[in-house]
Copies of this chain bind each other. A is one copy, B any other.
Amino acid sequence: MKGQDIKEAGLKITLPRLQVLEYFEKHPGEHLTADELFTKLRSENSDIGLATIYRVLNQFETAGLVVKHQFENAQAVYELDTGEHHDHMVDVETGEVKEFFDKQLEELQVQVANKYGYELIDHSMVLYVKKKK
């Protein structure tokens, strides 16, 4: 049962938390803002509050259940943490967000950090792209 993840995070299994987690699981690959999630859940007859969404997302982020991204825009977007690291491509024409992973790029970043005398802890990389004609 999915409540397991919530319990393992040291949180009580409550309806709002289940609804948020369930939404992400039912829509794999979606990246949405707190507000978008609020609207979607409300339209599914949930009576969840926006503040709760922010609270739950923060708790889930701390627990490693979701990942938060701050792209160019003001609002942060969240996605389910599949456990597999990946980076993002944003199609500048459609706003669509695509995940990708490139081993060579990852390794090169480690090497570049080393070259400057640093150890790489984390990175964020977003490629802004458009479809080739």
Residues of A within 8 A of B (CB): 70, 72, 89, 91-92, 98, 100, 102, 104-105, 108-109, 112-114, 116-132
Q: A108 touching B102 by the CB < 8 A rule?
A: yes
Residues of B within 8 A of A128 (CB): 120-124
Q: B120 touching A129 by the CB < 8 A rule?
A: yes
- What distance in Å separates the Cβ of A130 from its nearest Cβ neighbour in chain B? 6
Closest B residue to A122 using CB positions: B128
User: Could you say which of B104, B124, B132 contacts A108, with CB atoms under 8 Å apart?
Assistant: B104
Q: A123 touching B126 by the CB < 8 A rule?
A: yes
Give Cα A127–Cα B109 distance, bound, in whole angstroms.
8
Residues of B within 8 A of A118 (CB): 89, 91, 127, 129-132
Sorted nearest first, the 4 A-B pairs with minimum C-beta distance are A118-B129, A122-B128, A125-B125, A121-B128
Residues of B within 8 A of A132 (CB): 114, 117-119
Closest B residue to A74 using CB positions: B70
Closest B residue to A69 using CB positions: B72
Give Cα A18–Cα B61 distance, bound, in whole angstroms.
43
